[in-house]
Amino acid sequence: MPREASRPRVPRINLDVVRRAFRSLPGKGESDYYILEKGGGGPCLRVRRTVVQLGVRVRSRFHIAANLDPDMTLEDIEEARMQARLLLRRLEDEEGIPGLARGRCMKLRELHQEYMADFQENRGGNRSPQTMQGYAGVWRNHLLPALGNLRITEITAEVVRDFKRSIPGRVVERTPWVKSGGKTAANLALQQLEAALGFAVRMDWLSRNPASSRLVPRYEMHRAEDFLDDKGYAAVGAVLRDSEDRLVRKQSCLLDRVSLYALRIVIYTGLRQRSELLDTRLDWCHLDGDVPRIGIPRAKGNRAQGGGRWVYLGPEAVRLLRTIPRPPGSEHLSIPGRVAGRPLFRLNDAWHRVLRAADLPLMPVKVLRHGFSTHSAGIIAPEHRAQLLGHQGRPMTDTVYLHHHGPDLARAAALVEHHLRGLLGDIPQESEVYRFRYSGPRLVPRIVAAAGDEAEEATA
């Protein structure tokens, strides 16, 4: 049972009560005493020989919120009372949720170790070494230097907002050539912070996540819905053909041969540039036979049990992969870089040079994947389109059937490649629209002539 106060209760602890407490400090041989508010359960005073303290009593223990002074103002007393009420609420929560007591003493640096150990145990097997290195870099460069020594209960939404605003300037100062002005790095850091604090919430070390995107919005980046229209493809095709002519004549060129061919392959296939093309080994490419394809061990669309997917290629993509020059030391790479034994790092710079030459607005390389998805609609069956992009078919039976039905997917890849080459202007653009009909157990493409002509059926 809590010890009863030796003084009568007061309606409210105010400035007058505090000053009377200082005038009645216990003398030598006298015990400390408490001044409680009527109703109980709120702030109280503990009067000692030399100090008067404001706090709360929970389970016979006094918890200090503030040391008082007889010269304090009324506003100071009210601020101390508010701190005491917040302390009481936190202590009551800890009584119901014991983990909050541990979270109150935990720093973000310690939480990072706990979070990464849990992440590695439960989800690390489905993440590539490059992904894990990227996560570690975000913590090492941004989160730990700025917030690592803060207790996780001290990380409020306002702290996170200030942290978000500080990252772009530091990134630009360190790497002035960065394209996004540091906003991409800020979003990645906030994503990792939100994930770590969300783990703390699940472990009952924290009552809420102050880094939630609902509380601290992320910076807006490029629109993911951008794609090239017919005129955009024609402009890009003109630049690519001009670069090829210059390479043949050995003149100064916008692109080197490897970057040029890699861009064309991305246009024809809609591949994710790095994980599905640039980092691909040549022995993953099956370029001979009736079903030319690339076997990607790990892909974004299928990470379960370390699985991967097939990327089906049209004849022009196969030709480009065969003719890409591979210097000594890089014979095992599908897209070699300038350093022997290492693949081409990225296509962003080459793609932006093409867009500038074509007088088009700057867009990320991902628009080529969006363009593949957009312009293949109506050319091939929807199930083929989803599989070529690496997405799972809607019904499980279709997914399993199409995954093992390579010839139809190879034909679909060739049809889309042929259509995109027409948009680029590399070959005469046909007026027919490719559609499909079901004929027995397999899909047979049908060419429907332009308006006014009779439909003519043909197989691919």
pLDDT surpassing 50 at residue 442: no
Q: Which amino acid belongs to residue 338?
A: R
Q: How confident is the model at residue 414 (pLDDT cuts 50, 70, 90)?
A: very high
Tell the burial category of 133 from Cβ atoms under 10 Å away from its Cβ (0-12, 13-18, 19+).
exposed
Tell the burial category of 101 from Cβ atoms under 10 Å away from its Cβ (0-12, 13-18, 19+).
middle
User: CA angle 460-366-387, nearest 5°?
Assistant: 40
Per-residue pLDDT tens over the stretch 25-53: 888 778 888 888 887 778 889 998 888 99
Tell the burial category of 401 from Cβ atoms under 10 Å away from its Cβ (0-12, 13-18, 19+).
middle
Taking the CB of residue 11, how many other CB atoms lie within 10 A of it? 9
pLDDT on residue 225: 58
Q: What is the DSSP string of 90-144?
A: HHHHHHH-THHHHHHH-BHHHHHHHHHHHHHHHTGGGS-HHHHHHHHHHIIIIIH
pLDDT on residue 401: 53
Q: Give the Cα separation of 415 and 211 in Å (integer).
A: 47
pLDDT on residue 214: 85
Q: How confident is the model at residue 239 (pLDDT cuts 50, 70, 90)?
A: very high
- Max alpha carbon distance in the chain (Å)? 113
Taking residues 332-356, report their average pLDDT: 91
Strand partners, 281: 333
Q: Give the Cα separation of 61 and 63 in Å (integer).
A: 6
Q: Determine the distance from the C-alpha atom of residue 419 to the mean position of all C-alpha atoms in its chain, rounded to a whole number.
A: 33
User: CA angle 362-161-80, nearest 5°?
Assistant: 175
pLDDT surpassing 90 at residue 315: yes
Cα-Cα-Cα-Cα dihedral sign, residues 352, 376, 334, 402: positive
Per-residue pLDDT tens over the stretch 177-224: 776 788 889 999 999 999 999 999 888 888 789 999 888 998 886 555
**Residues 80, 68 contacting (CB under 8 angstroms):** yes
> What separation in angstroms does the CA of 46 have from each of 8, 13, 14, 302?
13, 12, 14, 63
Residues 6+ apart with CB under 8 A from 19: 70
Give phi and psi for 456, each to the nearest 5: -120, 125
Taking the CB of residue 222, how many other CB atoms lie within 10 A of it? 14
Averaged confidence pLDDT in the chain: 81
**Residues 186, 168 contacting (CB under 8 angstroms):** yes
Per-residue pLDDT tens over the stretch 346-391: 898 899 999 999 999 888 888 899 889 888 888 888 878 888 887 6
Tell the burial category of 299 from Cβ atoms under 10 Å away from its Cβ (0-12, 13-18, 19+).
middle
Q: Looking at domain 104-202, which of 1.10.150, 1.20.120, 1.25.40, 1.10.3210 is its CATH number?
A: 1.10.150
pTM listed for this prediction? 0.56
Taking residues 316-325, report their average pLDDT: 94
Per-residue pLDDT tens over the stretch 261-309: 999 999 999 988 888 899 889 989 999 888 898 888 765 544 444 456 7
Task: Tell which phi-psi region holds residue 29, choosing left (phi > 0), alpha (psi between -120 and 50) or beta.
Answer: left
Q: Give the Cα separation of 353 and 397 in Å (integer).
A: 44
pLDDT surpassing 90 at residue 138: yes
Q: Which amino acid belongs to residue 444?
A: V
Q: How confident is the model at residue 333 (pLDDT cuts 50, 70, 90)?
A: very high
**Residues 334, 321 contacting (CB under 8 angstroms):** yes
Q: Give the Cα separation of 143 and 109 in Å (integer).
A: 9
Q: Give the Cα separation of 344 and 326 in Å (integer).
A: 11
Q: Give the Cα separation of 158 and 62 in Å (integer).
A: 30
Q: Which amino acid belongs to residue 283?
A: D
**Residues 112, 196 contacting (CB under 8 angstroms):** yes
Q: Give the Cα separation of 354 and 119 in Å (integer).
A: 40
Give phi and psi for 93, each to the nearest 5: -65, -40
